[in-house]
Structure 1
């Protein structure tokens, strides 16, 4: 299959009435650039250290003063954590393709989106993906799109909910990449789609499909990635958007409050994060509420990754079972399911309005 960028180079022509020696210019098109968090290139110490250093040095992620944070990061955290993180990644690594599941799934999502959008718009669009941390970098993909003739780029962070540490930093990196382009394309970023009807419906359908074959879970734990509570108090809308997704999901499923609850996972550092913490709440549900069968879903992740495949299916599952829980059902992320691709395509079409 010929990639759109390959076709673009063969379609480059000189403008009419151009002087001799004028460089060929590719046919104009619109780029749709999907963006996810990122992944280490491998599970060895140095690959993990490079990735963690880039991630944990991002001031959107860790906003402590660099003169305090960097010595701790470089001299303590990055001497130990690459080993433990590497072990965790190795437990879920896609050995066949020698890459993380996040990379595999994001590529599959992009391929599905490319097929859908090129069927509608033909060569007027170029669809690709990048990562905020690691490879393929945002900078490299913006450069590929501009060289292929993209005079407009729609940037699509694959996060339904806005947070400074996810969508915000992805957008930052996109804008930094644009700063290095001689001819900057027109640019748009999508709004969060946490309440988009097609997204809510896709989540609900995935739950209904699993519940149809599961051992009748007594409660659904809707686990979102956490953040310091301080960020909420500073005005980050993430917490409120997560709560609304859960409410809309509950209404779409026709459930009551006793059947669904919101929690937050992946706590890091000493300060208070958004509560309740998933790892503690699943244990409380078993120990205090007597729940023996639960299901867990993670709607803030567009693709299964280390936080879902390893953290939820290992640490959080273990916490529930050690507290007396018996049936733990993890509901996978929407990944490249047709419902998810349809929902994302709907969001993209809305944001392309006036361009195509």
Structure 2
């Protein structure tokens, strides 16, 4: 009889999840073989989107402080992870964002003024245009993971060559929905892409206190799904890995879990979180040197594709578009309780009929 070895099966598993990086902190290519096939116009468009998003983040924070926006989760630092991954999507693919992923939703087709209305809690901000395959940003941590598995299975069932792409943070990877969604997608080879943006702290708890696993990517193995660890501050690496995952998915090879190692420079949300209570200045300085915009800017400048003048034009355009979008949001009819009641059901149950009449009377005064 062969003796059973009780050697720790986890030993060395992290070595299978080596960090994928194409562009280093100085904007130099470090992996020539995996440079994605993007045209010069594509590269410039990627940078335009990242610059636009950084401006949008700055203005959104200012608008929040002025009381002109409601809920807002800052995005600075995560642009490469967010926009590099979204750039690999097709228009007909389905996007299921978390609450920090409004930039992807905007570039997927949601008008900017509606994104501002979403922040204010207005129902019109949650009404996707007919040609936008997406749902509103999910507030419940990790709930979008199971939803993405279902949407992806629907694509497979209907013979569609599209994917469902969803995002969560490192905190979301500790939720039960995360395991259930990835496992379901793996079992049914659903064309889903699960992007976990590991910004180190969830809300305030360090990732090493959330899980004994050295990486989130390795959790894919338990579901029989490929998992990849990517430098989330490197837009080329993020795009490359997500593009490969999409190609696999539409070819019937099932889902992929991708962990992007990134960092949010601001607080978790603008609702009172103070990151100085759980992050050090040294840590902030280290990650600021990895800024995805600085890194990609250096790369493009080296290819004579970028200039300060071009960037300033994008900044000014973004400011103007944001100004016009917030004005349009301000002109939207104020939300009423009767509005919410009327869009909940085709036929109102008796208790809501009574409430409808009650609120109609109140709102008429």
Give the TM-score of the pair, scaled to structure 2. Answer: 0.27
Higher strand share: 1
Give the TM-score of the pair, scaled to structure 1. Answer: 0.27
Structure with the bigger RCO (C-alpha within 8 Å, sep 6+) is 2
